[in-house]
Structure 1
Amino acid sequence: MTTAFVTGISGQDGTILAAALAADGIEVHGLVRSADEEAQQRTVLPAGVVLHLGELTDRARVGELVDSVRPDEIYNLAGISSVAYSWEHPTVTGEVSGLAAVGVFEAAWSLQERTGRAVRVLQASSAEIFGRPDRTPQDEGTTVRPISPYGAAKAYAHQMAGIFRGRGLHVATTILYNHESPLRPTTFVTRKITAAAARIAHEGGGTLSLGSTAVRRDWGWAPDYVDAMTRALRHTTADDFVVATGVTHTVAEFVETAMRHAGVADWEAHVETDEGLVRPADAAEQIGDATKAHEVLGWRPTVTFDELVGRMVDHDLAIVRGVA
């Protein structure tokens, strides 16, 4: 039986991935930070998923777990998930999203060297590594030049994946553009928007505070992107793959679509700008060219922007109506 080890299993992507792997008959192990997190995940993960306590930054613990689990597949999804948080905590971001990822690669490489068994690793990279990109749309050859602590940490891990690939470790990376689902916490702007749209529709009024609504992003459906991860890891040759829809929308368009789906007509009357939410530096537009993933992995997105927003709003409407 194939065995997989997933860091970040308690996040959106990790939860979706664990369910998909278990459905394929794979033995799934996951890393969680606390007993509370472990208890929470047991209510949402399939039976049989084994959870292990530990910090991603504890290289000895990660190495110990990799040695004991002896996974065939490792998915490193853990890390700081907020660009805004990274500005407030740049050192922690570098340790968790950068250095700790290399600790995962090192543990996998050491296991492979000692046992002679191939270990495959997937590093969840990010479009933030491109910062203000030198080309639009961005592809795997776009210059890596991040402009945020989050992007810098992810860039380090991304480039170290290539270095370990040169050492003989099968490390594939998926350069993920924004991808959403109802599993996103409301600290993410997309879920903040859909939750607010549901609340405003249900209560008949209210406001939504946002930073810049002019920022453009390439938004996709999270389960589609998780599918790309497994395809990238299992492909014959480890490589880098941009995972994106190739279509962008502004935050304002996201708000308008969410409000309209919830039944709120005059969306602009419910939105106010909070300068405190504007990031010190932000890429104005990110759009990915996933041609390589299409041609090499046979991957394509299956859910449109309007469908994605609608599914999230429906979920939040069910919550405010007490039927979720």
Structure 2
Amino acid sequence: MTVALVTGVTGQDGSYLAERLVAEGCEVHGLVTRGDGRPASLPAEVTLHEGDLRDRDGLAALVRAVGPSEVYNLGGVSSVAQSWEQPVLTGEVSGLGAVALFEASWAAQERTGSPVRVVQASSAEIFGSPVRSPQDESTPVRPVSPYGAAKAYAHQMAAVFRSRGLGVSSCVLYNHESPRRPTTFVTRKITAQVARIAHDGGGTLALGNLAARRDWGWAPEYVDAMVRAARHDVADDFVVATGRTHSVEEFVAAAFAAAGVDDWRDRVEIDPRFVRPVDPALQVGDPARAERVLGWRPTVAFEEIVARMVRHDLELLAV
């Protein structure tokens, strides 16, 4: 039986991953911070362990106790905005915490002689202001935010541990959404407020830079890419993206269309508080390697992703 350890198991990607692994018959363990509740979306079969990615000894003990054959590091500071508010914490959790998990996995592999496959959830933010578009696995790493810098360190250390004999793949995930995305993220903030406006017949949506463009995909498909990476014979770096971009304004328009609101422009206001200190240049990924090596392809269209999120938020209001 496959034994999997998932950090960040209560988040969007973690819950989809846990569902997938449990359905396959895997024994799944999840790392959670103290006080975290169990979300309704998390299968009851998942065994939760309280811990902290900053606790190197605790991580090592957890890996020894669980004995995983697959490790998925999805934990860490969850957003660029939060990283600007807490840059030191971001480095400790998303950077050093990942390396501590690599070290614990490598030590377990050395001790038992059994391979441990590791997936690091990297981010397009490692490219910051990319020198070219679209970005692929050879694009230079040059982050422009604390979040990107921490992810960049973990991404590069994944390659270091790979050269040391640990089967660790780094999946460079571009923006990926679902109804499970917290409302602290701009995409879910948009769909939740648009649903509220459609439900109540009034109200406004406050946003920052409407011109910012992102490569948005469907979260469960990105989880599938990570599982494929974990189980591929050769560990490597993989860009996981759609290869297409849409602006925040296009996201807003699609959300209002899904909610049945035609005249929406007067319902959107620009609030300087939501403008990032530094907004990265155009981020669009080239998923050719993931397609060629892993057999992975995104299939859910942008408009359908937005519509699914809006329908979910409308259903919540109808309860």
Q: Which moved more, 1:259-268 or 1:182-191?
A: 259-268
Matched, 1:225 2:222: yes
Q: 1:190-209 alignment to 2 at 5 Å?
A: 190-209=187-206
RMSD (CA atoms): 0.7
Is 1:280 matched with 2:277? Answer: yes
Q: Could you tell me which residue of structure 2 aligns to residue 100 of structure 1?
A: 97
- Corresponding residue for residue 142 of structure 2: 145
Are 2:85 and 1:88 aligned? yes
The aligned counterpart of 1:173 is 170
Choose the corresponding residue for 1:119, options 116, 119, 125.
116
Task: Kindly tell me the number of residue pairs found equivalent between the two proteins.
Answer: 319
Query: 1:320: how far off?
Result: 1.1
1:58 alignment partner AA: D
Query: How high is the sequence identity, in percent, across the aligned residues?
Result: 65
**Using the alignment, how far apart are the partners of 2:110 and 2:257 within structure 1?**
56
1:18 corresponds in structure 2 to: 18
Letter in 1 for 2:19: A
1:278 & 1:45 partners in 2: Cα distance? 33
- Looking at structure 1, the residues matched to 183 and 264 of structure 2 have their Cα atoms a distance apart, in angstroms, of 19
> For the residues of structure 1 that align with 2:207 and 2:120, how far apart are their CA atoms?
31
CA distance in 1, matches of 2:281, 2:121: 22
Deviations 1:181-239 (A, max 9, x none): 00001000000000011000011110011010100000000000000000011110000
The code of the aligned residue for 2:109 comes to Q
Aligned AA (2:156): Q
Displacement, 1:44? Answer: 2.5
| Paired residue secondary structure (2:52) | coil
1:236 correspondence with 2:233: yes
* Equivalent-residue separation in structure 2 for 1:172 and 1:284 (angstroms): 26
**Which runs of at least 4 in structure 1 moved beyond 2 Å after TM superposition?**
none
Shift of 1:48: 1.6
Q: Give 1:302 deviation, angstroms.
A: 1.6
Separation in structure 2 between the aligned mates of residue 67 and residue 284 of structure 1, nearest angstrom: 42
CA distance in 1: counterparts of 2:308 and 2:238, whole angstroms: 27
Match of 1:40 in 2: 38
Separation in 2 of the partners of 1:197 and 1:238?
Answer: 41
Runs of at least 5 residues in structure 1 that lack an aligned partner in the other structure: none
What is the CA distance between 1:53 and its match in structure 2? Answer: 0.6
Contact 2:87 2:146 survives alignment (8 Å) = yes
Alpha-carbon distance in 1 for matches of 2:236, 2:130: 21
Q: Which secondary structure does the structure 1 equivalent of 2:172 belong to?
A: strand
TM-score by length of 2: 0.99
CA distance in 2, matches of 1:250, 1:291: 23
- Identify the residue that residue 160 of structure 2 maps to in structure 1: 163
